[in-house]
Structure 1
Amino acid sequence: MATRKKTAPAPVSCPDCDGKGETSETVRVGARKGRATDNRQTALCLTCLGTGEAPADGE
């Protein structure tokens, strides 16, 4: 009998960053009104920690 080669399942992309590993938000200025500017600020995705893969359940 031939044995089958086991393959690892394909990683699922992170739902928060869509697999990019980073997120971006609009920069707001002003103490009270918080006006939105045209600038964007990117940051590391806290859900996947920049890997772009969805975290496994139970970790």
Structure 2
Amino acid sequence: MATQRTTTKTPKNPAPDPVEPAPCQPCGGTGNVAITVRVGRKRRPVGQQDGLCLNCLGSGTDPDA
């Protein structure tokens, strides 16, 4: 009769811990940036509206990380 093993082996390649992606710098991780709205012949600024972040394309994560 074979002897029973009382200890378990450790896995050879343990799974790496999931790394949280870094937030995008221009939008701060929101995916939206404020764009100035200009009107009139002299193009005076009247306000701001939300626009898609062109660095991360709205995902909110840093593409270089």
* TM-score scaled by length of structure 2: 0.68
For 2:52 and 2:44, the matched residues in 1 are separated by 24
Partner of 1:42: 50
Greater relative contact order (CA < 8 Å, ≥ 6 in sequence) = 1
For 1:34 and 1:56, the matched residues in 2 are separated by 35
- Give aligned pairs, total: 55
**Percent sequence identity over matched residues?**
38
In terms of Rg, which structure is larger? Answer: 2
* TM-score scaled by length of structure 1: 0.73
Q: CA offset at residue 8 of structure 1?
A: 2.1
Q: Does 1:17 align with 2:30?
A: no
Q: Is there any run of 5+ residues in structure 1 with no aligned partner, and where?
A: none
Q: In the alignment, which of 43, 53, 57 is matched to residue 61 of structure 2?
A: 53
For 1:24 and 1:7, the matched residues in 2 are separated by 35
Relative to its length, the structure with more strand (as a share) is 1
Q: Kindly report structure 1 stretches of 4+ aligned residues shifted beyond 3 Å.
A: 1-5
Q: Is there any run of 5+ residues in structure 2 with no aligned partner, and where?
A: 1-8
For 1:8 and 1:55, the matched residues in 2 are separated by 17
